[in-house]
Amino acid sequence: MATPSRRRAAWQVRAALLPVLLAGALTLAACGGGGTPAQSGQSGQSGTAAKTLVVDASFTLKTADPGRNYEPTGLIIGKALYDTLLTFEGSDVTKPVPSLAESYEQSEDGKVLTLKLRRGATFSDGSPVTADDVVFSLNRVRDMKGNPSFLLDGVQVATTDETTVTLTSKIANPALPFILPNPALGILNSKVVKANGGTGDESDKAETYLNGASAGSGPYTLESFNAQSQVVLTANPKYWGPDKPTYTKVVLRNVESATQKLNVQRGDSQVALDLSGDQIKTVGGDYTKVQTASANVLFLLANQDTAVSKVTTNPKIVEAIRKGIDYQGLLELAGEGSVQAPGVIPTMLLGALTPDQAVTRDVEGAKAAVAASGVSSPSVTLEYPSDLTLQGLSFQPIAERIQANLKEVGITVDLAPAPVATALDNYRNGKEELGLWYWGPDYPDPTDYLVFLPGKTVGLRAGWKAGADKELEALGDKAATTIGDDARKPLYGEIQTRLNATGPFVPLIQPGQNIVTVPSVTGLEFHPVWTVDVAALGAK
C-alpha cells in the first residue's frame, strides 16, 4: 500500500497547489475566453433553447488522457468523455451500479471480480466497445505508471469470453467495485489509441492525441483542451446511452472563486463550482444553491517521532490538543455547508462515524491532561501551507484559531506557515511537529483511509511507525480484506474510535462544497469523486 498511497497524497497537494500557482496568471485568460459561450448560455437562462453550458471552476488540471489524469477538474472532464465499467447513481457512493458492464459479481474470497459487458455500447466513432478495449484500457492505466496507476496495483485484467472480463487480485480487494467508477479508469477505443502512439506501457505516447481528441464512449467528445484556460466539450451524436446530454456544448473555464460569483450573477456563466461559505451567503436572487459537506477532511497530526518532538510524543499532550480544539468555532470559520469530521473517514462514506461520535471540546479536561503530561509550559510549532485554499477556505485563519484554542488550555503554538512546496516536503518526510493538512478520497471506500494507521503513508508522516499499536494494525489488516458491507462497517467504526482515543490525528472539519447555478440549470448533484456530472445537467 505504501507506493500507491504516496501517489494519492501527491495528487491531493498537486490538486490544491495548481490553482494557487495559476490563479493570478490565468484569471484574465479564463474570463476573456468565454464570451461567445456565455452569450449562448444567457439565451438558455432567459428561457429559450439552451445549447451551450458555461461552467466556471478553479482548475486543477494537467491532461485529458484518462490513464494519466488524476486531478479534480480532469475527473469532471473524464466523466463526460469516457464511460467506465461501473458508476454511481447520482451522489450516492455507497453502491456501485452498472455502466459499460451490465452486471458484476465478486467471489466469496474477494479476489476475483467478474463483469459481464453490456451489448450495444459504442464509441464516438460508432465502433462497438469490446472486452479487448476494456483489457487494454485498464492494463494501460496500471502499466503506464501515471498518477492513477495505484488504483489497479496488483490487479490482473483478462477476458473470459467476448462479453466477460475478470479482474483478479492477489489478496481480497473489497474496494475494487468502488474504484472502477473513477473516470481515470474510463474505457478507450484501443484501436484508435494504438494508432496514435498508445502502447499501454511506460513508452505510451497517446497523451498528445488524447489532449486534442477523445476516444471514448461517453456522452461528450473533446473539442478543445487548454489546461490553463478552458476546455470545450461537444455532445456525442452517437452516444449509446438512454439519456442523451441536454447541452450540445459545455465550456469549462478556469476562473478564481471571487470571479465565479460575479460571472454567474451577471449571466456570463451558468454554474459556479467553487464558492466559499461566505461567498454563497451573499448570492441573492433566484439561484439554485447546492450546499453540502465536501469529502475532504481537514486534520491535525501530532508527530510521534522523539527525534522531531519531545512534546507531541507525550500522549497526554495529544489528548490535550484533541480536547482543547473548539470544533464549533472552526465550523463558523468554514461557513456554509461545512460539518465537523467525526473521524478520518468523511461522513458520506461507508464506515464513517456518526456526528454524536465526534470529539467535543473539553477545556477543563484538556488543562488536566496538560498537567498530567509532566511537560512544563508546553510549546509546539504548527506547520501548514500558507498559499493553499480548500473549498475557498484558507489554512491561515484555521491555524490562528487553533493557536488561540490551545493557548486557553496551556499549550503555546508557534505558527510556521510556508509555501506549499516547502510545507509539503516537511510533511512528506515526517518532519512536522504539529501539522495542518487534509485528505480527500481517491475512491469512495474506507480502505483508502487505512493510510492513517501505524506504518502506512500518513501514519509515517506523523512519525507513527509500524508496531506502534499492534492491535489497531491487526484490525486494519482485517478490515482491508473483509468482504461485505455489513461486516466491514463496524470494523472501520472501531478503527476510527481507537484513532480518536489514542491516535496522533485530530480530525477537524469537512469544508463545505458550495455550488451555484442559474435557475435554468437542473439536475445538479455534488459527487465526491467527479464533483459534478455535466451530462446529467438539464435545462428548464
- How is residue 498 written as a grid cell? 481507537
DSSP code, position 269? -
CB 537, CB 246: distance < 8 Å: yes
Q: What pLDDT, on the 0 to 100 scale, is given for residue 324?
A: 98
Place of cell 484555521: 398
Q: Residue 525: how many CB atoms within 10 A of its CB?
A: 15
| Cα(164)–Cα(211) distance, integer angstroms | 30
| Cα(115)–Cα(113) distance, integer angstroms | 7
Q: What pLDDT, on the 0 to 100 scale, is given for residue 258?
A: 85
Q: What pLDDT, on the 0 to 100 scale, is given for residue 22?
A: 32
DSSP result, 33-101: TTHHHHHHHHHHHTTS---EEEEEE------S-TTT--SHHHHHHHHHH---SEEESTT--SSEEESSE
Q: For residue 8, how many C-alpha atoms fall within 13 Å in the half-sphere facing its CB?
A: 24
Q: What is the CATH number of domain 297-510?
A: 3.10.105.10
CB 150, CB 8: distance < 8 Å: yes
Q: Which of 150, 144, 136 is nearest to 187 (CA)?
A: 136
- How is residue 339 written as a grid cell? 460539518
Residue at 162: amino acid letter:
E
Q: Which CATH class is domain 33-58+219-293+513-540?
A: alpha beta
Q: What pLDDT, on the 0 to 100 scale, is given for residue 278?
A: 84
Q: What pLDDT, on the 0 to 100 scale, is given for residue 203?
A: 98
Q: Which of 79, 114, 118 is nearest to 99 (CA)?
A: 118
CB 530, CB 75: distance < 8 Å: yes
| Cα(432)–Cα(11) distance, integer angstroms | 20
- How is residue 290 written as a grid cell? 447546492
CB 106, CB 155: distance < 8 Å: no
| Cα(495)–Cα(37) distance, integer angstroms | 49
Q: What pLDDT, on the 0 to 100 scale, is given for residue 429?
A: 95
pLDDT in tens, the chain (540 residues): 333 333 344 434 433 433 333 333 333 233 333 333 443 444 333 333 549 999 999 888 999 999 999 998 999 999 999 999 999 999 999 899 999 999 999 999 999 999 999 999 999 999 999 999 999 999 999 999 999 999 999 999 999 999 999 999 999 999 999 999 999 999 999 999 999 999 999 999 999 999 999 999 999 999 999 999 999 999 999 999 988 999 999 999 999 888 999 999 999 999 999 888 888 888 988 899 999 999 999 999 999 999 999 999 999 999 999 999 999 999 999 988 899 999 999 999 999 999 999 999 999 999 999 999 999 999 999 999 998 778 878 899 999 999 999 999 999 999 999 998 899 899 999 999 999 999 988 899 999 999 999 999 999 999 999 999 999 999 999 999 999 999 999 999 999 999 999 999 999 999 999 999 999 999 999 999 999 999 999 987
Domain ranges of the chain: 33-58+219-293+513-540, 80-202, 297-510
Backbone dihedral region of 531: left (phi > 0), alpha (psi from -120 to 50 degrees) or beta?
Answer: left
Q: Residue 399: how many CB atoms within 10 A of its CB?
A: 21
Options 3.20.20.140, 3.90.76.10, 3.40.50.300, 3.30.70.20; CATH for 80-202 is 3.90.76.10
| Cα(461)–Cα(502) distance, integer angstroms | 17
Q: Which of 249, 273, 421 is nearest to 337 (CA)?
A: 273
Q: For residue 228, how many C-alpha atoms fall within 13 Å in the half-sphere facing its CB?
A: 7
| Cα(247)–Cα(267) distance, integer angstroms | 17
3-state secondary structure 112-179: EEEEEECCCCECCCCCECCHHHHHHHHHHHHHCCCHHHHHHCCEEEEEEECCEEEEEECCCCCCHHHH
| Burial profile 259-297: b = 16 or more Cβ within 10 angstroms, e = fewer | bbbebbbebbbbbbbbbbbebbeeeeeeeeebbbbbbbb
Given CA atoms 205, 210, 213, 219 in this order, what sign does their dihedral have? positive
Q: Which of 343, 340, 292, 295 is nearest to 489 (CA)?
A: 343
> Is residue 272 classed as helix, strand or coil in its secondary structure?
strand
- How is residue 492 written as a grid cell? 472501520
Q: Could you tell me which residues come within 8 angstroms of residue 413 by beta carbon, excluding any fewer than 6 positions away? A: 379, 380, 381, 382, 402, 403, 406, 407, 434
Q: Could you tell me which residues come within 8 angstroms of residue 332 by beta carbon, excluding any fewer than 6 positions away? A: none
Q: Which of 110, 77, 51 is nearest to 488 (CA)?
A: 110
CB 496, CB 266: distance < 8 Å: no
- Angle, helices 395-408 vs 327-334, to 10°: value is 160
- How is residue 319 written as a grid cell? 489528548
Which pTM value belongs to this model? 0.84
| Cα(6)–Cα(272) distance, integer angstroms | 31
- How is residue 355 written as a grid cell? 456526528
- How is residue 314 written as a grid cell? 507525550
| Cα(253)–Cα(18) distance, integer angstroms | 15
Element (H, E) at 445: none
| Cα(151)–Cα(94) distance, integer angstroms | 18
Q: What pLDDT, on the 0 to 100 scale, is given for residue 10?
A: 40
